[in-house]
Amino acid sequence: EEREELATAIFHALDAEGDGRLHSEAMRQFAELAGFRSSEADWRREFRSICAEHGLRVTEGVDLETFLEMVDDFSERGIYCSDRELAFICSQLLRQALGRPQAPGLPADAPRGRQR
């Protein structure tokens, strides 16, 4: 399925350590590309909350299976992204990898961050 392939590509692009986990900074990069804006302290709290909600240790980070669940989850536990948003995030990560500037702005239907 294309959606799962996009989300998996995003996960692997963010997994700079190659350990099969997205740690706080990688998840923050994803969240920012998905429209989440916060201070460093707010992000630390948010990441702890994400990990707790999914039964993960903060030090271990988010695995691929959990990441795939999160981008499909409309609830407060998730960070739902539409197919278009996933494609946009994937394109931004590719631009970064190639050293090109990011495209201006998120698509009109891009998420604007989690609301608590």
Query: Quick check: is 40 in a domain?
Result: yes
62 neighbors 21 (Cβ within 8 angstroms): yes
Contacts of 96 (CB under 8 A, 6+ apart): 102
Q: What is the mean pLDDT of residues 93-98?
A: 87
- Please give the share of the chain, as a percent, with pLDDT higher than 90: 71
Query: Quick check: is 104 in a domain?
Result: no
Query: With 70 as the cut, is the pLDDT of residue 111 above it?
Result: no
Query: Quick check: is 109 in a domain?
Result: no
The pTM (predicted TM-score) of the whole model is 0.82
Q: At 37, which CATH number?
A: 1.10.238
DSSP state of 62: E
Integer angstrom CA distances of residue 91 from 6, 40, 78, 98, 113: 10, 25, 21, 10, 19
- The 10s digit of each residue's pLDDT in 21-75 is 999 999 999 999 998 888 999 999 999 999 999 999 999 999 999 999 999 999 8
Structural domain tally of the chain?
Answer: 1
Tell me which of 6 and 110 has the higher pLDDT: 6
β strands within the chain, DSSP E: 21-22, 62-63
Q: Which domain holds residue 79?
A: 2-97
Query: Quick check: is 39 in a domain?
Result: yes
Q: What is the pLDDT of residue 53?
A: 94
Q: What is the pLDDT of residue 82?
A: 95
